[in-house]
Chain A
Amino acid sequence: MNQQMEFMSFDEAMQRFDPVFGIEVHVELNTATKMFCSCATSFGAPPNTLVCPVCIGLPGSMPTLNKKAVESAIRLGLALNCSIASMSRFARKNYFYPDLSKNYQISQYDEPIDYDGYVEFELDDGTEVRVDIERAHMEEDAAKLTHVGGAAGRIHGANYSLVDYNRGGVPLIEIVTKPVEGMGERTPEVARAYVAALRDIVRVLGISDARMDQGSIRADVNLSLRRRVEAGQDQGAVPFGKRTETKNVNSLRAIELAVRYECERQAALLTAGQPVVQETRHFHEDTGATTSGRSKEEAEDYRYFPEPDLLPVCPPAKWVAELRASLPELPARRRRRLQAEWGFTDLEMRDAAGVLDLIAGTVEAGASPAGARKWWTGELMRTANEQGISPEELPVTPGDVASLEQLIAQGTLTDKLARQALAGTLAGEGPPAAVVAARGLAVVGDDDALGKAVDDALAANPEVAEKIRGGKTAAIGAIVGAVMKATRGKADAAKVRALIEERLS
């Protein structure tokens, strides 16, 4: 089964096959305490210091439900347009593994708290996509295993394994999509954009740190291919193929790559007449490839049954209504509102996608939307890209950009001077006003001073002055240049020109 196989290019794969995918996202909640006990959930504590009889599963211990976690689950469900179950239940998912202190995980099975929702989001080119949500349910995280010795952190071949139960029992919400069909060659992009949209929602709700790099959002990607039908035939009538589940794909880029890789791999297998094995696969960040994990051919039997140690979860309708009323504005709606308020075109909106919050902050601090957009999508985005950091990490705040805009509007700075002031701020010289003062960048606005500079320039260049008087207006530039030189560029060129014309007319 591990023989070297031919790969099929993505384009060819898409010509022959129609991909169907589904994603399970685990969101680690940022509640102060664990799902079923009062241990803290903080990240990075020494191993096995945030544990108690409940989360290490000592005999006789019993779980008690974290109400805050239920609240987070309901809020997320509402944000995902889900129905909230008036009664949901926890179940035990039984399997033996040392990362489960009880050898079962308390999860929700056939009665999840959130069900039947959807998420709407945009792809990079503005295409609107809707992904349907099957369910979202609460569960406890497993402990963290570290395999020491042997091959690359895997349990097989390891000399020994360390278990850190600090993570055991941390509240999770698992969000499961319905199968997503009909996305064709845009499938990898859609998968990525879905997870990004989910991350943004979770972030706005404030229910999780939403850090993929720290594992607070983890995605498992299910993918299968089916034969593409001739034009005019019903693609939906073709049954789904055998799927693989690629585990722990932990960055947006990795999601796109993993989907793409599985499309290419499965297409090659199917084209060669070989079966796709229904199995768990692992994604390798370094190579962008997936490799076979444990086989799911014999479907695992988790022997689910209702958790007898917990009561059913029956959130009062009034509480759910309160939570619904207090939901923050969600990313998609906010984007639509801001576009309308700012009068941006679709294209401008797309350019602004990565710096929307920064623009909003800048507008809030008093700048015009167009001005804010210009700085953030231009100069500042470029600088951030050059430095390989995100625009948020630049040493410039929306307030700084707004004050820069104000200085221009007041006539204190020209565009050119403003760029210099910003360079100063980026270089750590303080806010724009301070840079202007320190570097002496302000436009020479004082009419007397400027008038004197013009008079001096005319006196120093009598023959040029004569030409101008004689109607050769093109010669004005030379006098303007002399004035700018004398004021070291701090004069407003238009104003200088007006003063010259006034004197020589």
Chain B
Amino acid sequence: MSQDLTRLTAAEMASQLAAKQISAVELTQAHLQRIDHVDDAVHAFLQVGADSALAQARQVDEARARGEALGRLAGVPIAVKDLLATRGVATTCGSRILENWVPVYDATAVRRVREAGMPILGKTNMDEFAMGSSTEHSAFGPTHNPWDLDRIPGGSGGGSAAAVAAFEAPLALGSDTGGSIRQPAAVTGTVGVKPTYGAVSRYGLVAMASSLDQIGPCSRTVLDAALLHEVIGGHDPFDSTSLDEPVAHAVDQARQGMAGDLHGVRIGIIGELRGDGFDRGVLDRYAEALGVLEDLGAEVQTVSCPSFGFTLAAYYLIMPSEASSNLARFDAMRYGLRQAPEGGPVTVETVMAATREAGFGPEVKRRVILGTYALSAGYYDAYYGSAQKVRTLVQEDLAAAWEKVDVLVSPTCPTTAFRLGERVDDPLAMYLSDTATIPANLAGIPGISVPIGLAGDGLPVGLQVLAPARADGWVYRVAGAVEAVLTDRWGGALLEQAPDLGKQQGGER
């Protein structure tokens, strides 16, 4: 039997494509088939674009046949979170209010992916407007965790993480506002990176909280994430907040880490992120990972970031405040859903109100109301103002930490994947999933989640590595080192231990 192409890493796919051992069409076909087999169960995709993906794959094959110079990932398929605008392809953000919106333009990251010759398989599921930690807030039904279909795949980018975990795509684009790339990666046994704020253009990313949002790669290996990072990163004149400097050497750094040398690397354990609220199973794997780091020659010490005790509260003021403003444009006037009011006069105000009532789900409404309140005259200083001060404190704590260490580590998520429905009616419990990931967004620093094994419940656990702003290379290096050692120890990638969904579904369709 020929190799199952979907089981390759993106790096392997790329090298087989470059060697013309496989074609992009073949590879894309294999993934479309896999999606066909498993996505009814996983529901990672909101939309699959088989024809356009195959057309793009064909172009890459033709270009390669003509001997044209191609990008490293040319022909490697990718899935795109439905929060990124894709020209000519509906972009719903997981919301009824944008159910039929077809963008006239590509997000910069999407354009770069296309220009790199990467066929786009489809758009992945997410919590509505990226608000959630489980994808249960998608207006189009939840995504299921490939490790256990009764469990959440994390969120908001559960679709992208699950697609990668279920071998429906080798790579995916995500966005991370408080952990939406890293937390799903942790609970699905995949890799997710939130780059430095500004390292990847946000142009075309439908904004939730503009000062926190960051696009990043989702993958199964650290090297694959690094390859994608270098495709999407770099300055963009359309995003004033994008950094005007060269893209991080993510690939080199990942390779250096994989070679296994961390001698002299100073690693800080975040003292505030390991005790209360963290599951025993998570902490066990975390302790082992720290052992791996020490074995590789790293100097591990504990660092205190006292402000991390306030970050969840600050985040839940800043994020809803910005979201309330960003989501104001969904008013039925120019695009998207338009709902006539039931009874009463039909005016601009009543149409706007009826549309927003019908088009937004409960979590979005909750955050819009929270944010509107927090920004109101008389409350601004107490809420938004104080939250910004916490942000400054976080930056100060981190600045002090960087004096002593090169990277900081913590578990990515306090628990493994919880059951679908378990927290959906308890927003505060849901928000706790992001305790460890939020500080990176408040500070604008890069962070990665890399699998470090299974907890006692048989579900994946992730290690988070954080580095100073603009030092994205560090997270790839340290995570690459951990990954190499553990993969070796497990005798293969962690995902090899996940249930084979194809068989679970009986294989027939």
Contact = CB atoms under 8 A, between A and B. Distances in A.
B19 interface: no
A304 B240 CA distance: 20
Given A61-B204, A308-B211, A103 B321 contact: no
Interface stretch (B162-170, B376-384, B460-468, B476-484): B376-384
Contact of B321 (A57, A101, A305, A311): A305
B209 to A, nearest CB: 8
A96 B328 contact: yes
Contacts of A63: 240
Given A103-B329, A303-B376, A57 B241 contact: no
Interface in A58-84: 58-65
A70 to B, nearest CB: 13
B202 A62 contact: yes
A94 B204 contact: no
B328 A60 contact: no
Interface stretch (B101-109, B250-258, B272-280, B306-314): B101-109
B302 interface: no
Contact of B240 (A103, A303, A311): A311
Given A64-B240, A305-B380, A309-B241, A104 B84 contact: no
B206 to A, nearest CB: 4
Nearest to B331: A103
Interface string B79-115: 0000011000001010000100101110100000000
Contacts of A310: 240-241
Given A103-B331, A308-B210, A59 B85 contact: yes
Contacts of B101: 59
A171 to B, nearest CB: 16
A155 to B, nearest CB: 8
B80 to A, nearest CB: 12
A103 B98 contact: no
B396 interface: no
A299 B377 CA distance: 10
A60 B205 contact: yes
B207 A58 contact: no
Interface string B113-129: 00000000000000000
Given A102-B328, A310-B240, A305 B103 contact: no
A301 interface: yes
Which of A58, A63, A65, A299 is the most central at the interface, judged by chain B CB atoms within 10 Å of its CB?
Answer: A58
B98 A59 contact: yes
Nearest to B201: A62
Given A94-B328, A308-B210, A309-B210, A59 B91 contact: yes
Interface string B212-246: 00000000000000000000000001111100000
Contacts of B91: 59-60
B490 interface: no
Contact of B376 (A58, A161, A301): A301
Contacts of A155: 348
A65 B240 contact: yes
A92 interface: yes
B333 interface: yes
Contacts of A92: 325
Given A303-B376, A311-B240, A53 B104 contact: yes
A63 to B, nearest CB: 7
A64 to B, nearest CB: 5
Interface string A277-306: 000000000000000000000010101110
A98 interface: yes
Contacts of B329: 57, 59, 101-103
A94 B325 contact: yes
B39 interface: no
A53 B91 CA distance: 15
B203 interface: yes
A386 to B, nearest CB: 50
A60 B84 contact: yes
B334 interface: yes
A163 interface: yes
B59 interface: no
Contacts of A309: 207, 210, 239-241
B328 A64 contact: no
A101 B330 CA distance: 9
A62 B239 contact: yes
B348 to A, nearest CB: 6
Contacts of A104: 325, 328
A131 B203 CA distance: 43
Interface in B402-461: none
B375 interface: yes
B375 A94 contact: yes
Contacts of B206: 59-60
Contact of B238 (A57, A62, A97, A102): A62
B85 A303 contact: no
Contacts of B384: 305
B271 to A, nearest CB: 30
B123 to A, nearest CB: 13
Interface string A95-111: 01110011110000000
Which of A60, A62, A102, A163 is the most central at the interface, judged by chain B CB atoms within 10 Å of its CB?
Answer: A60
B210 A96 contact: no
B377 to A, nearest CB: 5
B322 interface: yes
Contacts of A483: none
A104 B323 CA distance: 12
B349 interface: yes
B325 A58 contact: no
A13 interface: no
A56 interface: yes
A101 B334 contact: yes
B372 interface: yes
Contact of B203 (A60, A303, A305, A308): A60
Contacts of A96: 328, 331, 349, 352
B318 to A, nearest CB: 9
Interface in B155-180: none
B335 A62 contact: no
Which of A53, A303, A310 is the most central at the interface, judged by chain B CB atoms within 10 Å of its CB?
Answer: A303
Which of A64, A92, A103 is the most central at the interface, judged by chain B CB atoms within 10 Å of its CB?
Answer: A103
Given A94-B328, A96-B352, A303-B372, A62 B322 contact: no
B240 to A, nearest CB: 5
Contacts of B348: 97-98, 155, 161
B213 to A, nearest CB: 9
Contacts of B93: 59
Nearest to B349: A96
Contacts of A303: 324-325, 372, 375-377, 380
A449 B141 CA distance: 109
Contacts of A65: 240
A61 B203 contact: yes
A445 to B, nearest CB: 71
A68 B340 CA distance: 43
5 closest Cβ contacts across the A-B interface? A103-B328, A303-B375, A308-B210, A308-B211, A59-B206
29 contacts: A53-B103, A58-B334, A58-B335, A59-B85, A59-B91, A59-B93, A59-B329, A60-B85, A60-B103, A60-B107, A60-B204, A62-B202, A94-B324, A101-B334, A103-B328, A104-B328, A155-B348, A301-B376, A303-B372, A303-B375, A303-B377, A304-B375, A304-B380, A305-B322, A305-B380, A308-B322, A309-B210, A309-B239, A311-B240
Interface of B: 84-85, 91, 93, 98, 101, 103-105, 107, 202-207, 209-211, 237-241, 321-322, 324-325, 328-331, 333-335, 348-349, 352, 372, 375-377, 380, 384
Given A94-B325, A102-B328, A305-B321, 16 more contacts: A53-B103, A58-B335, A60-B207, A62-B240, A64-B237, A64-B239, A96-B331, A96-B349, A98-B331, A102-B329, A155-B348, A299-B377, A301-B376, A303-B324, A303-B377, A309-B241
